[in-house]
Structure 1
Amino acid sequence: MQVTTSEDSSIAGMVHHKIHDYRWTALGMLPHEDPQPRYLRPVSTAATLNFAATLAQSARLWEEFDPTFAADCLAKAEIAWQAALDHPEIYAEYTPGSGGPGGGPYNDDYVGDEFYWAACELYITTGKSEYKDYLMSSSHYLEMPAKMGGTNEDDGLWGCFTWGTTAGLGTISLALVDNGLPASEIQKAKSNIAQAADAWLANIEDQGYRLPIKQAETIESGYPWGSNSFILNMMVVMAYARDFTGNDKYYNGILDSISYLLGRNAMDQSYVTGYGSRPLSNPHDRFWTPQTSAKWPAPPAGIVSGGPNSRFQDPTINAAGLKDTPPQKCFIDHTDSWSTNEITVNWNAPFAWVAAYLDENQGVVITTNYGDVNADGDVNSTDVTILKRIVLRKYNGSYDEKAADVNTDGSVDSTDVTILKRFVLRKIKELPF
């Protein structure tokens, strides 16, 4: 395991930002047939910190099974951390041609979140005060964003973390793994995770197709590249919110979100191969590409595609005549549409995680506590007040729509308010009524 491949000793311990071919290869090419030379791109602070965070976490995970390897992981993580401290501003910036003809730029010119994430993982693994002091002084301390900000391409997008926005990963680790932070701080991390999930539940309630993302406000378009991955990462956080609070409203949010991915969307399209009445068939991949040639295999079941991207970044989607189409319909199931139909590790990983979570919890029966409009476990006057505001269209928060329909007639209206008020005053014995 190497943390530097450079002859320049001044950057010892730094990690190269990426490696890729000199030029893009065509679809339908086996790795051993690739004629392109591969090049290491320069080191970056972001890559070095991502390495440190990942290796620090790996040290914990492998310690029980391979202590020697775990120790090596931790040693390399600490070397990388120190190298990043010594070189805190080596950015992978975007400039014309910075990606090279054979790979994307993966530009990231803000690394405060990467420093926080790495400090969290190193503190949990080592217990050292230097890492604790660093993470507690970070502006990202215990943060779980519902909407991302900053200076990179994630700015203004609904979501929690991506390859370029990583603070939420550190907060999840602090909330999950025993460490030396006070119990009150751990609880704050868990509360912040639940608050982010609450914001996404409000988005679900506010949209006809019941999904947790909305159109972006600060980019020139509505849905970003890999929009499905934003939803999947949100589902991971909603799962933790459910585990931390015991509130099944977050589980319902996961079910709404997976329903969107499996076909309850404006495209009437499952974005997963092999599942749904209209499953994904032609993802952008260099091996699973039967559209390129019949000699290449169809994709196996269980792969998720990036999904709608209203920035029209590939020739195939541009030629499809969708320029004036709503963002949720900016998608084409074609192997050449790399900006809408790509399959990648970084959105199939959370998909595998979410699928496993749903599988583990498939025996859970979600019951409706009628009248518990705010889903806090009690039916009281607060629920009456919220229900009144819902009916008057003055309430913008999340709520349990099924619980609000206390007479189960399929609509939430003034009749439900009257019935719920009578129940709270004990003039009705049970709900639904």
Structure 2
Amino acid sequence: MKPIVLLILIINLLLVINLVKSDESCYLLKQSLLFYKAQRAGRLPDNDIPWRGNSVLNDKSAGSSVDSNGDGDLSKGYFDAGDGVKFNFPMAYSMTMLGWSYLEYSGNIEKCGLASLYKEVLKWGTDFLIASHTSDNVFVVQVGNGDVDHSVWQPPEDINYVRQIYTIDPSNPGTDIAMEAASALSAASLVFKTSDPTYSAKCLQHAQKLYSFAITSQMKATNNQTYMNNAALYYTYDNTRYANEFSWDNKGVGAMLLLYQLTGELKYKDNLEAAFNVWQPGSTSNVITYTKGGLAWLREWGPCRYSLVMGFLQSVYSIKNGGDSKYNTFYKSQLSYVVGNNTNKQSFITGYGSKAPKNPHHRAAHHSTTKDINNPVNNTYQLPGALVGGPGKNDEWSDDRSNYVTNEVALDYNVGLVGSLSAFATGSEATSSSTGSTTPSTTSTQSTTGSTTTSQPTTGSTTASQSTTSSTTGTQSTTSKTTASTTGSQSTTTSTTSQSTTSSSQSTTTSKTTASTTGSQSTTTSQSTTTSKLGESESDDHLGDSVSSFIGRADSVLLILLSLISLIFNL
């Protein structure tokens, strides 16, 4: 290991202990959860994010009826990133990870006084997954067309066009998204087992049906009927595919950790440590680059999310399973970096620190009334506790809203932040999770009119039990194929190819899927080739209607394992 890198990591560890004190860690955890409230769609039950309003109330599945308010069954849920699309794949992954983090660190979360808020955030997402499961073998995977949405810069409250609904079914399956949704609901069934047994049972029931749908639709049947044997059957270790990252599109490392937790078998431990060691300073794998400031840097697009979620996994292994202390050191050093303990003193969390991001790539927070990404100059509202994409290899970063590669926020970005903060928080200062105001860092943003608006996010009051929405598609740097159909009153197309390139990262993602879409009016499977330009129509790495169906994929392993855990504890 280079001496300078080691020195920086040691300094970072000392600083994170001083800067993120116990009370601040609870405050930061609260803000990172409130970010999800800023992402809510539908009719909002509270004023916790006062600058967010009702949106996309007409989102509904084919043939469904509206509720007593006239809202569609898919009107709620979470918007994926800085846009207005609901992608169920990364959203379900995010709920899986929030559930897992709670199960590992519920004690810390409770000591911070945040258990109610945490469960409220989780339930808003899992409610939507349940709403998306419109019948045993039909699941909504996306609400809204990415190309259409990303071509317009406007807050979600202003969306007024008919939005496409994409689904999977036995004729048009998508194994990994069905498995991911089942995984999220399995985890939620454990989170709510004591506090809300009825809801816990409901989550588990949907998880089991989604699991059955996915495994019978796409996976090879086996003679072994147990979840554990299925997990072992589909588990394979591949250094390139599993060890390099953990994300909504790659679950291998998480599968290793869960298998080791469940079985204690050394083969899983060895593979797990080999994966973790790729991220350690001085690794000879040449996969991870350490910036001079100490960030374990995987790739240009959203590097902070990868380092923090890998940090969460390493914290679980070290703190809960007796792993080497170097893994505990890793998660703390990465958390230290993003809160501002780096060479540039740059915080990568909105609303936290003297150099916090003020202009994340986020339509709702920017709140342009002219559909112009540059007007107003600065975001109108402060987004609470959002992790932005992050710096380049040399720690360089600018607060540039138009650069979605480095400045966008997303549901899946924040799960590593929530998980790491949950591990770190000691809860010496109780933080109200349901009522009262917060004391956020004062971040004022100035509009073109010269007026200054300061938004202080507040805490939530009641849990929302209404059904919620979300949606999915997306690829990262993989090529995937699925089948699908289109049902609707107008046009139908099959075989969609979506290619998006960004001038910033110079990355190309090609995904080939056929998504089943339904809509009350226009229904087309988005068959298009799109080249996105910075500041024009962003193409985040969830775009592309990708619902991959690889047999034995790690996504399925993670679900199988979480399903097994749920079944064991729910017997």
TM-score normalised by structure 1 residue count:
0.55
The Cα of 1:170 is off from its aligned counterpart by 3.2
- Specify the alignment match of 2:305 in structure 1: 229
- Given the alignment, which residue of 231, 235, 239 partners 1:139? 235
Per the alignment, residue 193 of structure 1 pairs with 272
Query: 5+ residue gaps in structure 1?
Result: 7-11, 90-111, 120-127, 151-156, 216-222, 310-326, 363-433
Matched, 1:349 2:415: yes
Where 1:18 maps in the other structure, the secondary structure is strand
2:134 matched to 1:55?
A: no
Change (3 A) 1:78 1:62: same
Q: How does 1:207-246 map to 2 (within 5 A)?
A: 207=290, 209=292, 211=294, 213-214=296-297, 223-243=299-319, 244-245=321-322
TM-superposed CA distance for 1:213, in Å, is 3.4
Q: Partner amino acid for 1:137?
A: L
The residue number in structure 2 matching 1:404 is none
Q: 1:272 is paired with a residue of what secondary structure?
A: coil
Within the candidate set 333, 344, 357, 1:280 is matched to 357
C-alpha spacing 1:49/1:30, structure 2 compared with 1 (3 Å): closer
SS at match of 1:339: helix
Cross-structure match for 2:244: 158
Cα distance in structure 2, aligned partners of 1:284 and 1:134: 41
Alignment of 1:42-81 (within 5 A): 42-43=167-168, 44-81=174-211
Q: Which has the higher contact order (CA 8 A, sep 6+)?
A: 2
- Alignment-mate amino acid for residue 233 of structure 2: S
The residue matched to 1:65 in structure 2 has which SS?
coil
Quote the residue 2:507 is aligned against.
none
Shift of 1:34: 0.9
Could you list the per-position Cα deviations for residues 90-109 of structure 1 after superposition, in whole angstroms to 9, with x for gaps in the alignment? xxxxxxxxxxxxxxxxxxxx
Residues 60-80 of structure 1 show CA distances to partners (whole Å, capped at 9, x for unaligned) of 222222222222222222221
Letter in 1 for 2:401: T
Equivalent residue, structure 1, for 2:519: none
Q: Give the distance between the partners of 1:214 and 1:158, measured in 2 at CA.
A: 11
**Aligned to 1:253, which of 306, 312, 330?**
330
| Structure 1 position 285, deviation (Å) | 0.8
Displacement after TM superposition at 1:191 (Å): 5.0
| Partner AA of 1:149 in structure 2 | R
Residue of structure 1 in register with 2:255 after alignment: 170
| Count of paired positions | 281
Residues 58 and 73, structure 1, Cα contact 8 Å, conserved in 2: yes
In the TM superposition, residue 46 of structure 1 has moved relative to its aligned partner by 1.5
Aligned residue identity for 1:345: L
Matches within 5 A, 1:10-409: 13-21=137-145, 23-24=148-149, 26-31=152-157, 33-43=158-168, 44-88=174-218, 129-140=225-236, 148-149=240-241, 158-159=244-245, 161-176=246-261, 181=263, 184-185=264-265, 188-190=267-269, 192-203=271-282, 207=290, 209=292, 211=294, 213-214=296-297, 223-243=299-319, 244-245=321-322, 247-263=324-340, 269-289=346-366, 292-293=375-376, 297-308=380-391, 327-328=393-394, 331-360=397-426
Conserved 8 A contact 1:3-1:13:
no
Q: Identical aligned pairs, as a percentage?
A: 20
**Measured at CA, do residues 84 and 330 of structure 1 come closer, stay the same or move farther in structure 2, by a change above 3 Å?**
farther
One-letter code of the match for 2:411? V
Q: Unpaired runs of 5+ in structure 2? A: 1-129, 169-173, 368-373, 429-571
Give the aligned residue type for 2:329.
N
- Say if 1:63 and 1:259 are closer, same or farther in 2 by CA, change over 3 A: closer
* Change in 2 beyond 3 A, CA 1:264/1:50: same
TM-score, with structure 2 as normaliser: 0.43
The question of whether the paired residues in 1 share the 8 Å contact of 2:300 and 2:406 is answered with no
Q: Provide, for residues 333-391 of structure 1, a one-character-per-residue CA deviation record: whole Å limited to 9, x for no partner.
A: 122222220011111122022123222299xxxxxxxxxxxxxxxxxxxxxxxxxxxxx
1:265 offset after TM fit, Å? Answer: 5.1
- Post-superposition Cα deviations, 1:171-214, rounded to whole Å, max 9, x if no partner, equal 333445xx5x4xx42x6545543443333223489846264635
Distance 1:30 1:57 in 2: 29
The higher radius of gyration belongs to 1
The separation in 1 between residues aligned to 2:176 and 2:228, in whole angstroms, is 20
Give 1:295 shift. Answer: 9.5
The change in CA–CA distance for 1:148 and 1:16 in structure 2 (over 3 A counts) is farther
Partners of 2:133 and 2:139 within 8 A in 1: yes
Aligned CA distance change for structure 1 residues 131 and 235 (closer, same or farther; 3 Å): same
